[in-house]
Amino acid sequence: MYQPIVWNKDHIRILDQTKLPHQEVYIECRDLETVADAIRRLAIRGAPALGVVAALAMVLASQRSSCKNREEFFRELNHNSAYILMTRPTAVNMKWALQRLTDTLRKTDTGDVNHLKELLEQEALAIFQDDIEANRQISAYGQELVPDRATIVTICNTGSLATAGYGTAFGVMRAAHEAGKKILVVSCETRPLLQGCRLTAWELQKNNIPFVLITDSMAGYYMKKKGADLVIIGADRIAANGDTANKIGSYGLAILAHHHHIPFYVAAPVSTIDCDTCQGDDIPIEERSPDEVTCIGNQKIAPNGARVWNPAFDVVPYCFIAGIITEKGILRPPYTESIKKQCGNVRPRTMVN
């Protein structure tokens, strides 16, 4: 089975998702800059995966560090954290992972820089392993919501490619399939970069899960003509009121599900919950290059000079969400209460200087 992220002590081995589904090519990232470039150009993507890779990137940076004392070490760690955070502003998992690293190291009183480097690597690897375990728990809770012979609609990619392993929304479908349920996954292609077409379809084939691929604009008509039992998406950031930022197209899918009386679920680890963000309107939404819309691959498809708006994400209002599936259980409305209760177990987001 494929491993999207592999730690090899002095480098991170990343499966380049821009090459899928036709080529399985790995990138060896040996420094912070190479990791940042991989994140920017979406060679690695998916909020949980970004948290893991950001943590491991701090280890790579520390291996090259010439810091002499504790103060210099933390100053450099904060600088490197700020640098990697600038690559993708919407997904909160990177900020969560980097804060967890800082918190763990701050709890020690050692001034030995080599010891700090060892602790940094230990905590980064713990974040890696914790994400895999969280995925498994999310999937176990979520698959209980899936009836036998269910048709499940999803968008973008939330599988092993988007996490440290197994998947979130994809993991729910995978766990239902592994439990012997006869499911059919309807994968929206996910314009403009076609993650549902290139990545989710590839992972569904790898896991022998039956699926149908549709364009994003076909979702409503599919629901009307063929029906669906539930919609499950992932998340890049969940606000304190339950509003959820996810891949562009998620908002429209939620409206369609609501109109057709189909329950709409979000599957994400608690590290995706940002209790410091009150509502969806406060979530920063990344806007990407116009070329992603005007071109498919290297082929220009739009006329020269066409104006483009290309937000990478939109926000699903909490009122459309039937439940948020986490590794701690399924959060239910009212989310201001269920999330507030859960946030007692979520680390603060404010970066330590």
Quote the CA–CA distance of 157 and 216 in Å, as a whole number. 14
Copy the structure tokens of residue 323: 């439940």
What is the amino acid identity at position 345? N
Sheet-wide strand order for 244-247: 273-274, 237-239, 244-247, 313-316
DSSP string, 26-45: EEEE-SHHHHHHHHHTTSS-
Q: Among 247, 241, 246, which residue's Cα sits nearest to residue 279?
A: 241
Any idea what the Cα angle at residue 204 is, between residues 202 and 207, rounded to 5°? Answer: 110
Quote the CA–CA distance of 55 and 31 in Å, as a whole number. 12
Sign of CA dihedral 154, 160, 166, 168: negative
| DSSP secondary structure code for residue 129 in this structure | H
Residue 148 bears catalytic tag: no
Active-site residue among 130, 131, 216, 236?
A: 236
What is the amino acid identity at position 90? T
Contact 351, 78 (CB under 8 A): yes
Sign of CA dihedral 48, 54, 55, 60: positive
Q: Which residues pair with 60 in a beta bridge?
A: none
Burial class (CB in 10 A: 0-12, 13-18, 19+), 137: middle
Quote the CA–CA distance of 25 and 23 in Å, as a whole number. 6
Give the three-state DSSP class for 313: strand
Cα-flanking dihedrals φ and ψ of residue 108, to 5°?
-95, 155
Task: List the catalytic residues.
Answer: 236
